[in-house]
Amino acid sequence: MIVKLNHQDKQIAKEIQQIQQAAYRVEAQLMGFDGIPQLYEKVSEIQKSTETFAGYSEEQLQGVISFQIDEGILAIHRLVVSPTYFRKGIGKRLVEYLLEHYKGYEFVVSTGTANKPAIALYTAYGFQEQRLIEVAPGIHCTQYSLSN
């Protein structure tokens, strides 16, 4: 089940942090880059975030998506699934949740260019590559967008 999360609650913020650190460690390995900011984000920083958070859980939190809306653009800031639950369709469900509940927005998201599973997920929903961003020497992210 997907529900909005109160990330200002310390326990929920801690659960978000644990999932995102585990998920971003996997992405860091794929990219060969450990400078992903969310790897080092503190619970207090998550609590102060202005993003909207939604989570997928069955008895425990298994995946999280966060986003911000500004002038008709919905920017996905993080989509993380606990590695224990990789390949179970949780990322798909979280993307579908946004697409169903926020019709009429343009969606944008960036992911590591080496993160083939994330790219496959976004392109399966029709996201189109927009531009390549060099985040560190030799390390790239790709930005995607979708008009919904």
The top-scoring range by mean pLDDT among 113-117, 122-126, 138-142 is 122-126
Q: How confident is the model at residue 38 (pLDDT cuts 50, 70, 90)?
A: confident
Q: What is the dihedral of CA 5, 10, 15, 16, to 10 degrees?
A: 60
43-89 confidence digits (pLDDT tens): 999 999 999 999 999 989 999 999 999 999 999 999 999 999 999 99
**In sequence order, what E strands does the chain have?**
2-5, 52-58, 60-70, 73-81, 106-112, 128-136, 139-147
Question: CATH second-level architecture of 2-147?
Answer: 3-Layer(aba) Sandwich (3.40)
Give the mean pLDDT of the chain.
93
Residues 131 and 143: their CA atoms lie apart, in Å, by 5
pLDDT digits (tens, 9 = 90+) for 90-104: 999 999 999 999 999
